[in-house]
């Protein structure tokens, strides 16, 4: 090899290092078993990060609460959380904002042969509620009950618990129905349980026609302004990964083990729910619908979920204009 060739190789190598070093880094908080982990794997499998214009540094989180702590401590740039928390933080002076990630929001399930056909049939029954007394779906279900002259908080025996525990209690017939997160609802459906109401249906029956995200990317507004091009590139790459998982069977199979579904049927139901949750649009109408839901939630749970503010805070939702 002559000197000229060697210099060319060295120049190419070090140029590559410089380009890599110049790529802005996004510190992304993610849970090992969450759907974001599926998409990160899909990004890597499809090579979507190779020429994305940014580098990802992932920080593994134990749960959503750990993500909130990490964001506030400045340990991560982006987490997945909900817009109600963002509004609450903004009311306290924080500058976080939200961009939609998923519309999937869980559901109310009963055994296939259950006599429970309506909300009124829940009276006197044991209902498992994932997320505790301030779970958004539980509060919205109560709001729907009020429209039907039902006080579900009084007529139903609530069993609060973590989703895996509630699924076990449900399968062992210790509870009559369960209101849980979409991944666990999908697993129950795959086992033959019947969905009485989805989170989306609860919202529609409350008079909200537009889809409303249940979960979104949360980050600091000032950070987003400084890194707007990088953030847009990340959001576009994440969308491509999500679309690949929903349109390409081969891409899905590469990450299937991460779903922890017990069998192919479970994977199929999980994939269907995941893909149904893709955010097709994010307009003023969708944001107004979220504000309307917030106002309904504010009237429930002694304002513990929404705190003192009766309205959604300005700036809660980030737009890429």
Report pLDDT digits (tens) over 26-40: 999 999 888 999 999
% of the chain residues with pLDDT over 90: 81
Cα–Cα distance for residue pair 184/130, rounded to 1 Å: 10
For the chain, percent of residues with pLDDT exceeding 70: 92
For 173, left (φ over 0), alpha (ψ -120 to 50), or beta? left
Element (H, E) at 168: helix 163-171
Mean pLDDT over 98-118 rounds to 96
Alpha-carbon gap, residue 102 to 82, rounded angstroms: 10
Q: Is 154 exposed, middle or buried (0-12, 13-18, 19+ CB in 10 A)?
A: exposed
Structure tokens at 186: 């999908």
Rg of the chain in Å (alpha carbons): 22
Answer whether 0.85 is exceeded by the pTM.
yes
- The stretch 103-121 carries a mean pLDDT of 96
In the predicted model, is pLDDT for residue 111 greater than 70? yes
Amino acid 296: pLDDT: 87
Domains delineated in the chain: 3-103+214-303 (3.40.190.10), 107-205 (3.40.190.10)
d(CA 321, CA 288): 18
pLDDT tens figures, 214-237: 999 999 999 999 999 999 999 999
Q: What is the mean pLDDT of the chain?
A: 91
Residue written as token pair 């400045």:
74
Could you tell me the sign of the dihedral formed by the alpha carbons of 53, 57, 62, 67, in that order? negative
Q: What is the pLDDT of residues 65-89, one digit of tens each?
A: 999 999 999 999 999 999 999 999 9
User: Which position has the higher pLDDT, 89 or 6?
Assistant: 89
pLDDT of residue 321: 63
pLDDT, residue 33, reads 81
């Amino acid at each position: 090899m002559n000197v000229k060739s060697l210099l060319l190789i060295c120049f190419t190598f070090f140029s590559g290092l410089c380009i890599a070093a110049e790529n802005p880094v996004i510190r992304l908080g993610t849970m090992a078993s969450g759907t974001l982990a599926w998409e990160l794997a899909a990004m890597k499998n499809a090579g979507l990060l190779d020429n994305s214009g940014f580098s990802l540094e992932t920080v593994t989180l134990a749960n959503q609460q750990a993500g909130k702590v990490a964001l506030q401590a400045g340990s991560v740039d982006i987490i997945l959380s909900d817009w109600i928390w963002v509004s609450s933080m903004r009311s306290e002076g924080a500058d976080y904002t939200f961009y939609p990630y998923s519309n999937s929001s869980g559901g109310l399930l009963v055994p296939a042969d259950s006599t429970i056909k309506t909300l009124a049939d829940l009276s006197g029954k044991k209902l498992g509620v994932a997320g505790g007394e301030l779970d958004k779906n539980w509060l919205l279900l109560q709001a729907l009950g009020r429209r039907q002259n039902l006080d579900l908080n009084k007529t139903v025996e609530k069993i609060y618990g973590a989703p895996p525990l509630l699924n076990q209690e449900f399968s062992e017939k210790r509870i009559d129905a369960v209101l849980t997160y979409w991944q666990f609802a999908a697993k129950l459906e795959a086992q033959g349980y019947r969905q009485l109401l989805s989170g989306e249906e609860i919202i529609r029956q409350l008079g909200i026609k537009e889809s409303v995200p249940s979960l979104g990317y949360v980050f600091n507004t000032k950070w987003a302004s400084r890194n707007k091009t990088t953030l847009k590139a990340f959001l576009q790459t994440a969308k491509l990964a999500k679309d690949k998982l929903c349109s390409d069977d081969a891409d899905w199979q590469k990450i299937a083990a991460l779903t922890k579904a017990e069998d192919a049927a479970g994977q199929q139901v999980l994939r269907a729910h995941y893909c149904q949750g893709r955010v097709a649009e994010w307009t003023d109408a969708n944001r107004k619908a979220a504000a309307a839901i917030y106002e309904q939630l504010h009237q429930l749970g002694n304002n513990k979920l929404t705190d003192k503010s009766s309205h959604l805070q300005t700036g809660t939702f980030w737009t890429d204009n």
